[in-house]
Structures are given as C-alpha cells and as structure tokens.
C-alpha cells in the first residue's frame, strides 16, 4: 500500500521521541556550558612544559635539544638555547631554554612533540575554551605560561605520568648509587688494604 | 534604459532553447563543503554540468614533500576528515612498503578494527547527509550522528582525539588499547545492528525515498570501470571489486565477510550498498574483537625520527570507506619523500558526476552528488 513506508517511519520517530524521555541510549545530549563531560585520560589539546619541584624555571625538564622544534609539522615551536646550564633530576648539567614559545593558534594538536621528546618534558594538556580576542597575548605562549607542575601532569594523564615517575625515580636512585660508588672508588687505590 | 526596451525584452517569445546557467555553490549546504557546480538548465533539466573545485586546496602534497615521514601523518588526517584513521593506515602502509617494515599482528588487528569503525562512521554519516539532501531535514542525520558520537568516544579514549586521530605509525600503532576498550567496542558492536534496523525501518521502505532515488543517476558498469570509479560507487553498479578481498592487505584475509553488490547503479543502490556494508563491517569487527592477539604494537625496527628509506618507490592502497585510497611515494634516500602523491577516491568518483546528472532535474543533481560521497578535504587536498 502506498504510504505504508511513511507510516512505519513515523512509528520509528515516535518511538525515538518517547524513548528520549527514559532511555539513556536515545538521549545523549549534554547541556554543554552548564554541564561538562569528565575529561578522557588520553585526550589532548595543546602542549605544555612539565617542571619538577616548586620553582618553575629551575625545575623545567626541557633541555632545549630542539628535537620538537624540528619535528613539529606546522612549525609552531620556537626555541633559543641559554648559555647557562642547570642540573637536571639526576644532577647532570644540562642545557636549558632561554626562549620557548609555542604559537597555539598554529599548533594542530597532533602530539608529535610529545612522541619525540626524549626527556618527557613536553606533554599534551587538556584545557579547552581557549578562544580569545588577543592573538599575541593569549595565543603566543612563552615558557612561563607553558610551564605546569608535574602534579598537574599526574592529575590529567594518570597512567602515563605514573610510569614516567617510576622510571625517573629509578634513574635517580641509579645516579645516586653511581655517585656514591664514584665517591668511594678513588679511595682504595690511595690507601690500599684499607678496604679490608 | 527606457521602459519600452524592457517591455520589448519581456515581449520576446518564450525562450524554448535558452539555457539558464546556475552556479550551485561553493557555499551551499547540499554541496558537502566548498564545491561548486556550474549547471546549465533547460527548464528544470540539467543539460550541462561542470564541477569546479579547488576552494579547499591546502598544498598537502607539497608540504608533505618538505616534512619528515612522521610529520605528514597528522596532515593525512585532514584529507578525508571524516575517516582520518583509514587515511593514516594507507600512508603508514605505503611507508612500510618503502622502508621494509612489518607491523606486528596485534597492530594489524587494531588497524582493521579502527578502519571498520571508521567505515561505520562514514557510511552512517553519508546516509544521514544523503537523506538531508532529499529533504528529510534533521531526523535521519541526527540519528546517524548519535551513533557516530559513540564511535568517536571510542576513538577519543584510544587516540586522544575525536576526528584528527593521528594514531597509526609506520611499523605499527602509536599506543596500545586502553583498559576496557575492547569491552566497550564489543558492546557498541552488539548494539549497532538495532540502530541499523531502526534506520532501515525509518527510511528504506519510505515511498518518498524510493521515488527520489530509484532510477535516478544511473551509472553504467562500463563507464564506472572506465572512469576508475572505486568503492561503494563501483559496487553499486554490480562490479565485484573490493580491495579488502582483492589484495587482502593487513589481516583481512582471515575474516569471512561478503561484498554487497548492486544491480542498477542508481542512487538507491548506492544508499543500500552502504547500509549492507555496515552490516558486513560489524561481522568483521566481531571476528577481530574475538581473535585479537596479545603482543607488541610496533615493529622494533621502526624508527619514527630521521627515517631514511632506501631510494625507491612504493604504492600502497586500501579500501577506504569511499573507495581505493592510494599513496604513491618516491624516496631519494633523504629524510623526506622526493615525491608524494595521493590517489583520492572522492576526486575520481566525482569525475563522472556530469554523466550521471545529464537529463535529470536540478533537485536530483543534488541527490546524485550526495550519493557520490565526497569530502572536499580529499578532493582538493
């Protein structure tokens, strides 16, 4: 019969309409500004720089190796190396960035900087609602604006940050053991037999 | 001009053979992006149609020739932005051929699952948009997008992004599945057929849909083959050609699934093929979710940075949701490809648009364009 298909379709629409009052499968709308979904652990938006301890610039993990600057596909990272070195978490002297700018209006949130960083220094943030009228003040971020504590990183990417923290702790212990061995090692040749 | 001149123009005999030229697009909701059709109309009937594109040209191929092999993966996401993961796969596969890398089995299973999920997204979105072009404003598209959101949630929990996934790497995948992902996908796959049944009850028997699609935009087998049309467009004409079967790339050889074929090659067949393909995709997903092995997800030989494949060339192709998506790379031994070329299914399927539209009404031309399934990000690159 002509029109039967339309009636069948209408029944389907009515079922969906009625279902939207009680079936969570059919009512998926989130009233966004008032209501927000919990963030997903893997979600990524823009990069930030991780620092350890309380002092942001002293604890910055970045060693200004410029790998991320070279690999960044849209070329949104700009780094200038500092002449002054600073000790890293195992006490080794490392370079540090004098300038570290990310133009987040150019950044395409691909996360390649994170993937290539050998120092776990740059990670992806989960902030959004970044729109602003101030192009250079709010979207061209310098290292002070980019630096965020490790606690924040642990908060947003729990699994990944946990693994990194364990690895860094091991490295630290190894470095301390090596330093202790080194401190102890030169002595035996100076006073042979004293070790016994 | 005097009033007399105007009235004399109006008084001319009705122009029977005077054609009306209409520029449809580029900012027109039915053109699926920034695409323009220069249409010559005789009354309501299309007598000439010229597709005009290039409004979304981003110089993708040239940029990729200046980028490292790793750096162009995020750009491939932006080709066909509805199916970023299949684009990733086609590119990763080509670099693997070029550099002699082999993806581990688990990575291949993950790729199959993701690309079938992508196919579900693409086909459900296409069905929704096609119906919108026919005048079913909102409702089917809303239902289709509701299901799409659920799949995008899975993508987000795995890759970190809903659309620009940037997930596959040459030699494997970027990260392993998060805990609980397989179970979530399994429940999605279990619930998806009920959505398809609902969608079909809503539309497939609908008399208006049948009147608007049956016998409209018929594409003959010969023309489709000669023009190099691939994907659901080709199969709707009855040609049994699916690269998943022909090449059996990845681990597709291990799954049992059927390739739906059309008979007449009209818009209805093209719509129906997509619905049937979604059902077959669900079968593949069920098998892949059951059989996925444990193990590494990336080839230990794969070097993401400073990859310098030996001089040579490679062509990799996959069955994307829109058709044969191919990448052609030439390496001269440097850190970036010497030549980088994409075979975009959308563009090549679009070349026969005029042949399908001639003799149809202008309203049908919109529906025919909708059934071709184009994404301008891929057409213009």
The answer to whether the beta carbons of residues B125 and B82 sit under 8 Å apart is yes
* Per-residue pLDDT at B12: 53
CB contact under 8 A, B67 and A25: no
Mutation to test the A interface, candidates B88, B163, B202, B203, most A Cβ within 10 Å: B202
Shortest Cα distance, chain B CAs vs residue A149, angstroms: 21
The answer to whether the beta carbons of residues A147 and A60 sit under 8 Å apart is yes
pLDDT in tens, A85-140: 887 877 778 888 888 899 988 899 888 999 888 888 898 988 888 888 888 888 88
Q: From the centroid of its chain, how far is CA B359?
A: 27
Overall number of domains in chain A = 1
- Name the closest residue on chain A to residue B145, using Cα atoms: A28
The Cβ-side half-sphere exposure at A156, using a 13 Å CA radius, reads 20
Shortest Cα distance, chain A CAs vs residue B128, angstroms: 14
Shortest Cα distance, chain B CAs vs residue A30, angstroms: 12
For the CA atoms of A75, A78, A81, A85, what is the dihedral angle to 10 degrees?
-100
CB contact under 8 A, B304 and A116: yes
Q: Quick one: average pLDDT of B217-226? A: 88
Decide the pairing of beta strands B20-24 and B36-42.
antiparallel
CB contact under 8 A, B208 and A6: yes
The answer to whether the beta carbons of residues A26 and A19 sit under 8 Å apart is yes
The SS3 of residue A60 is strand
Using CB atoms and an 8 Å cut-off, which of residues 55-84 of chain A contact chain B?
Answer: 67, 71-73
CB contact under 8 A, B67 and A108: no
pLDDT in tens, B92-112: 999 998 888 888 988 999 999
DSSP characters over A144-170: HHHEEEHHHHHHHSHHHHHHHHHHHHH
Angle separating helix axes B267-291 and B105-133, nearest 10 degrees? 150
Residues near A47 by beta carbon (within 8 Å), at least 6 away in sequence: A102, A107, A111, A113, A114, A122, A123, A124, A125, A146
* C-alpha triplet B160, B164, B167: angle, nearest 5°: 60
Q: How far is CA A97 from CA A74, A85, A137, in A?
A: 20, 9, 20
* Per-residue pLDDT at B330: 92
ipTM of this complex > 0.95? no
DSSP state of B41: E
Measure the CA–CA gap between B32 and B376, rounded to whole angstroms: 7
Is position A89 within any domain? yes
Q: Does A1 touch chain B (CB under 8 A)?
A: no
Q: Quick one: average pLDDT of B21-35? A: 76
Q: Look at residue B33 and tell me whether its pLDDT is greater than 80.
A: no
Residue with tokens 């298909």: A5
pLDDT in tens, B290-319: 888 888 888 878 788 888 888 989 999 998
Q: What are phi and psi of B46, to 5 degrees?
A: -80, 125
Q: Does A108 touch chain B (CB under 8 A)?
A: yes
Measure the CA–CA gap between B86 and B73, rounded to whole angstroms: 11
Is position A28 within any domain? no
Instruction: Give chain A's mean pLDDT.
Output: 83
Domain that holds residue A97: 50-125+135-182
Is position A192 within any domain? no
Measure the CA–CA gap between B119 and B89, rounded to whole angstroms: 13
Q: Which of B31, B32, B50, B30 is nearest to B40 (CA)?
A: B50
DSSP characters over A62-118: -----HHHHH-TT--EEEEE-SS-EE-TTS-EE--EEEEEEETTT-----HHHHH-T
Q: Look at residue A77 and tell me whether its pLDDT is greater than 80.
A: yes
* Per-residue pLDDT at B302: 79
Q: Quick one: average pLDDT of B241-258? A: 88
Is position A164 within any domain? yes
Is position A168 within any domain? yes
Chain A hits for B205, Cβ within 8 Å? 4-5, 8-9
Instruction: Give chain B's mean pLDDT.
Output: 86
Per-residue buried b or exposed e for B123-151, using 16+ beta carbons within 10 Å of the residue's own CB = bbbbbbbbbbbbebeebbbebbbbbbebb
Shortest Cα distance, chain B CAs vs residue A15, angstroms: 10
* Per-residue pLDDT at A194: 45
Is position A154 within any domain? yes
Selecting from B70, B150, B202 the residue whose C-beta is nearest the C-beta of A12 gives B202
The answer to whether the beta carbons of residues B64 and B75 sit under 8 Å apart is yes
Q: What is the spatial order of strands in the sheet that B339-343 belongs to?
A: B312-320, B323-331, B339-343
Measure the CA–CA gap between A34 and A129, rounded to whole angstroms: 14
pLDDT in tens, A153-182: 888 888 888 888 888 888 888 888 888 888
Q: Look at residue B328 and tell me whether its pLDDT is greater than 90.
A: yes
Q: Which of B377, B92, B331, B68 is nearest to A113 (CA)?
A: B68
* Per-residue pLDDT at B118: 92
Q: Does A116 touch chain B (CB under 8 A)?
A: yes
CB contact under 8 A, A41 and B157: yes
* C-alpha triplet B358, B138, A18: angle, nearest 5°: 140
* C-alpha triplet A85, A88, A89: angle, nearest 5°: 165
Q: Model confidence at B128, in pLDDT bands (50, 70, 90)?
A: confident
Q: How far is CA B360 from CA B44, B94, B213, in A?
A: 8, 40, 12
Q: Quick one: average pLDDT of B5-18? A: 54
Is position A25 within any domain? no
* Per-residue pLDDT at B327: 92
Q: Model confidence at A188, in pLDDT bands (50, 70, 90)?
A: low
The answer to whether the beta carbons of residues B196 and B277 sit under 8 Å apart is no
| CATH code for position A119 | 3.30.70.20
Helix or strand (DSSP H, E) at B315: strand B312-320
H-helix segments, chain B:
3-10, 60-66, 73-77, 84-99, 105-133, 139-159, 181-203, 207-213, 221-226, 232-235, 243-246, 267-291, 345-350, 353-357, 362-372, 376-380
Q: How far is CA B361 from CA B26, B37, B198, B356, B358, in A?
A: 19, 14, 31, 11, 8
pLDDT in tens, B331-369: 988 888 999 999 999 889 888 888 888 888 888 888 888
Residues near A148 by beta carbon (within 8 Å), at least 6 away in sequence: A48, A49, A50, A51, A125
Q: Model confidence at B16, in pLDDT bands (50, 70, 90)?
A: low
Selecting from B73, B150, B161 the residue whose C-beta is nearest the C-beta of A109 gives B161
Q: Model confidence at A71, in pLDDT bands (50, 70, 90)?
A: confident
Q: How far is CA A189 from CA A176, A178, A181, B372, in A?
A: 22, 18, 14, 82
Chain A hits for B65, Cβ within 8 Å? none
CB contact under 8 A, A41 and B143: no
Measure the CA–CA gap between B218 and B230, rounded to whole angstroms: 15
What are the structure tokens assigned to A58, written together? Answer: 């002293």
- Name the closest residue on chain A to residue B146, using Cα atoms: A28
pLDDT in tens, B131-159: 888 877 878 888 888 888 889 989 999 88
CB contact under 8 A, B74 and A40: no
Q: Does A9 touch chain B (CB under 8 A)?
A: yes
């Amino acid at each position: 019969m002509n029109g039967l298909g339309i009636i069948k379709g209408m029944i389907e629409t009515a079922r969906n309409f009625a279902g939207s009052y009680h079936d969570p499968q059919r009512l998926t709308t989130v009233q966004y500004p008032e209501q927000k979904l919990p963030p997903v652990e893997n979600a990524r938006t823009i990069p930030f720089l991780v620092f350890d301890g309380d002092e942001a610039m002293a604890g910055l993990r970045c060693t200004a190796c410029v790998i991320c600057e070279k690999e960044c596909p849209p070329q949104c990272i700009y780094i200038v190396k500092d002449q002054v070195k600073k000790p890293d978490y195992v006490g080794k002297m490392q370079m540090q960035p004098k300038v570290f700018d990310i133009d987040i209006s150019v950044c395409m949130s691909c996360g390649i900087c994170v993937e290539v960083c050998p120092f776990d220094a740059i990670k992806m943030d989960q902030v959004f609602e970044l729109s602003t009228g101030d192009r250079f003040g709010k979207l061209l971020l310098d290292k002070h604006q980019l630096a965020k504590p490790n606690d924040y990183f642990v908060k947003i990417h729990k699994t990944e940050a946990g693994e990194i923290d364990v690895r860094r702790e091991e490295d630290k212990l190894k470095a301390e053991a090596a330093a202790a061995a080194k401190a102890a090692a030169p002595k035996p040749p100076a006073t042979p037999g004293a070790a016994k | 001009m005097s009033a007399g001149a105007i009235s004399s123009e109006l008084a001319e005999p009705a122009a029977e053979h005077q054609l009306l030229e209409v520029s449809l697009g580029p900012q027109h909701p039915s053109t699926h992006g920034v695409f323009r059709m220069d249409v010559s109309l005789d009354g309501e009937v299309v007598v000439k149609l010229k597709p005009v594109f290039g409004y979304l040209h981003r110089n993708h191929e040239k940029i990729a020739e200046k980028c490292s092999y790793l750096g162009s993966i995020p750009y491939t996401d932006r080709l066909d932005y509805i199916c970023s993961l299949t684009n990733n796969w086609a590119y990763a596969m080509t670099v693997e051929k070029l550099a002699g890398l082999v993806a581990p089995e688990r990575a291949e299973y993950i790729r199959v699952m993701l690309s079938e999920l992508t196919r579900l997204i693409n086909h459900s979105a296409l069905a929704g948009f096609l119906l919108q072009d026919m005048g079913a404003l909102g409702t089917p598209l809303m239902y289709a997008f509701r299901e799409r959101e659920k799949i995008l949630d899975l993508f987000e929990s795995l890759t970190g992004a809903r659309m620009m996934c940037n997930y596959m790497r040459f030699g494997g995948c970027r990260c392993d599945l998060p805990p609980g992902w397989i179970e979530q996908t399994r429940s999605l796959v279990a619930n998806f057929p009920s959505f398809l049944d609902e969608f079909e009850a809503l539309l497939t028997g609908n008399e208006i849909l049948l009147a608007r699609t049956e016998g409209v935009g018929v594409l003959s087998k010969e023309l489709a083959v000669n023009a190099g049309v691939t994907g659901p467009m080709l199969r709707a004409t009855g040609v049994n050609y699916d690269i998943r079967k022909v090449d059996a790339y990845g681990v597709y050889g291990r799954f049992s699934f059927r390739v739906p074929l059309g008979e007449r090659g009209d818009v209805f067949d093209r719509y129906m093929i997509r619905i049937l393909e979604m059902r077959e995709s669900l079968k593949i997903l069920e098998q892949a979710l059951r059989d996925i092995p444990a193990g590494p997800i990336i080839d230990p030989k794969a070097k993401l940075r400073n990859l310098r494949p030996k001089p040579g060339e490679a062509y990799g192709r996959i069955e994307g949701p829109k058709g044969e998506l191919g990448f052609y790379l030439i390496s001269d031994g440097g850190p970036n490809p010497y030549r980088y070329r994409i075979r975009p299914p959308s563009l090549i399927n679009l070349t026969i648009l005029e042949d399908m539209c001639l003799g149809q009404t202008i309203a049908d031309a919109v529906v025919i364009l909708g059934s071709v399934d184009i994404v301008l990000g891929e057409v213009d690159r």
